[in-house]
Chains A and B, each alone.
Chain A
Amino acid sequence: MGKNGYQQQAMGIYQFISEHLYFNRPDMEIKGERFNSAILLSLLTGLRKGKELIIGEPGLGKTTSAEYVCSLIYQFPLGVIWGSEVSGHPEQTEEKIIGRPDLGKLNRGEEDVVWTNFSQIPVKIVDEINRLPETKQSMILDGVDRGNWEYLNEMIINDEYCLFATANYQDGGTNTIIAPLVDRFDVMVESRYPGANLSFLIGKDKRKDHVLRHPKFERDLTHVLKSKIAYEKKIPKMEEVCNDYGEYLLKAIGVKPFQRQDRDQIRAEMESVDLDLDASAFTRMVLAELSFCERYGQKRVVETCEEGCHYTGYLCYQIKNCASNRLPSSIKQYAQGLAWLLEDSQIDIEHIQAIIPYTLAHRIQWKEEVLSQKERAKRDDPFPIFLAKEAVKTISQRYREQSDHLKDALAIGSKIFQGGDWEPLEGDHPLYVEVKKDINGRKS
């Protein structure tokens, strides 16, 4: 891994955005290297075909950070990205998001669809998603989940896409993003204030993003997107223009964006990165704590914990809902991306610990007493991310204490599964109970 130089290319994009376009302070550290979470996770979202929710105060670069990353990963000029964004407001319609009838053809009695840029290009940015009505949020997330965009009786299929949605904190003009929709986002990250000094520099350099604009390529791409040819035929034409724009970027700013075959290769490399045993055992431990209930079989948002439960000290006692099946795939997806980027051959516990808070923050529903207890705690992160980071710290401590025993329990579980005559190991953590349940399920 790392021989084709893609990691250096990706880090080059990170550096360029960090140093010239999106002024920031690093807020996360992995293996001694410091990163800004908003840029790093956006980069991974773009490369990993993920779904990212960016939160933050108005005007702190939620949308622009996503635009810069997408422009450099997918080789789209900024103007095209702007033209394909969906802005969240209550009157937003399906016709503006997905497609509309071709009125000329309709007059002739034919049915055809004019697809929006949003549905056609791989970069999907939804500005202020929480200002959209829930039906529209659901429509976008369904489309992005499946990669299919349907209108009238027609459909286009995106085989490469990623989603960035921004959301302001709750105010008078916002709807909520309901839990099942929020769960579809792989990660949530905050676009933060860079500090007074860097903010002052931003104020001085108003047109810093003009380097990513190019009227000719923007016109060419718009022309391709508008053309009346089949979507499948548009894609190679689009890539052609994108590649020309990529070459222009290399000459103009010295940054080499990724071409389609590069991105495919990167994804294949990322897919091949596997979890080591500690990373796997730790992730299982987290999932067990987020889903376990001794009394009712699993966590359910409608059921409350019993007083005096033996598992009071674990995370399951502090939360209301159960971890979804999307959570482990988000964790693995982003941890693979991170390990690849850092040129590590395997995903280790550090990658997992770095990624988990951002995959958990928007998914956990904490109990009121936990919220009120920690609300005033000194912190640097937004409350949900802070709580998720604290939870990861607590579980990490537990993992340090019993990692060997836990791995033994899982190894014995494997032996029993293969027909060995072993007794499952006992231990004081929900995961031991889960191992037993799996084994009993097999025996019966």
Chain B
Amino acid sequence: MKPTVSPKKKFFIPSNKVYWTAKNPFEEFKAFIGSTPELPLDQIVQCTEAIMDRIRWGYEKLLEEEAKELVWMVQYNTIIKAYEVAEKYVKEVDYTAEDIEDFCFALENTQKIPYLIPGPAGVYISALCNYAKEEEIVLKLSELKTEINLIGFRLPRGKRLMIEGDTGDFTGIGLEGGELVIEGNAKNWTGAGMRGGKILVKKNIGLHTGEWMMGGEIYVGGRVRGLGNIVEGKVYERDKLVYPGKVRYPNHFY
């Protein structure tokens, strides 16, 4: 006899059976708290911006204190005073050589810095270079429209500053034993009052070169437009010693 009702399959589970729970294959990650993804590039940008803000703030303070009327006369006393103020602010910032280069471009391109006065800017950049951790600093300034004055002011012994591009007046004045290399041209009063060290200008140099220079050497790869009243030191033009030498008339073409 066939059963009239088709038997249905039933699962019998003993009432006192302890159920086996499915094992969580990710159990060990239960307590893992994912970190919010932060890209390394974001961190770098944030950090760089914070440093740039500090550098910019120092520059603005320098302008406030030393160029109140937006006029700045290049006199030896004003340069020294401006440098002392710049030193004060620069010492407080932890920066690298790359930040100095960024600051040079920010001077021209950003709205955050309202004005570029080549004199105080040069003094401030010189202070940045002199207090930088790196012994060798390269500033790629060839794209900069403005030629910055006073670069290399008081560059100390053991430092090497290389400028890719041209520089303005008073380049390397008061040099204190460092090595300043200009890949382009330098304007007037280069090396004025320098006490030691070396200035290398790959192209041409302007008038009053080495005015009241007390020591050190200036090498010029191109032409020296005119020498200043030099007290001590040497000036070479295309490997030829021009001071001390036969021709020592200031600001004369030779």
Contact = CB atoms under 8 A, between A and B. Distances in A.
Contacts of A281: 29
A419 to B, nearest CB: 10
Given A411-B30, A414-B30, A418-B30, A404 B25 contact: no
B7 interface: no
Given A277-B32, A404-B34, A404-B35, A410 B26 contact: yes
B77 interface: no
Interface string B19-36: 000101111111011110
A414 B24 contact: yes
A411 B24 contact: no
A436 to B, nearest CB: 12
Per DSSP, chain B at the interface is loop
Interface string B172-186: 000000000000000
A135 B37 CA distance: 56
Main secondary structure of the interface of A (DSSP, over half): helix
A383 to B, nearest CB: 34
A281 B25 CA distance: 12
Given A404-B34, A404-B35, A410 B24 contact: no
Contact of B29 (A405, A413, A438, A442): A413
A396 interface: no
A281 B34 CA distance: 13
B26 A408 contact: no
A435 interface: yes
Contacts of B22: 442
Nearest to A425: B34
Nearest to B24: A417
Q: How large is the interface on B (under 10, 10 to 19, 20 to 34, 35 or more residues)?
A: 10 to 19
Given A404-B37, A411-B34, A417 B25 contact: yes
Interface in A178-215: none
A36 interface: no
Contact of A277 (B25, B28, B35, B37): B28
A281 B28 CA distance: 10
Interface in B13-69: 22, 24-30, 32-35, 37
A343 B226 CA distance: 75
B35 A411 contact: no
B37 A414 contact: no
Contacts of A418: 24, 30
A264 to B, nearest CB: 27
Contact of B26 (A275, A405, A413): A413
18 contacts: A275-B28, A280-B29, A404-B37, A407-B29, A407-B34, A410-B29, A410-B32, A411-B29, A411-B30, A411-B32, A411-B33, A411-B34, A413-B29, A414-B24, A414-B29, A418-B30, A438-B25, A438-B26
Interface of A: 275, 277, 280-281, 404-405, 407-408, 410-411, 413-415, 417-418, 435, 438, 442
Given A411-B26, A417-B25, 4 more contacts: A281-B29, A407-B29, A408-B34, A414-B26
Question: What 4 A-B pairs come out closest when comparing CB atoms?
Answer: A414-B26, A408-B34, A411-B32, A410-B29
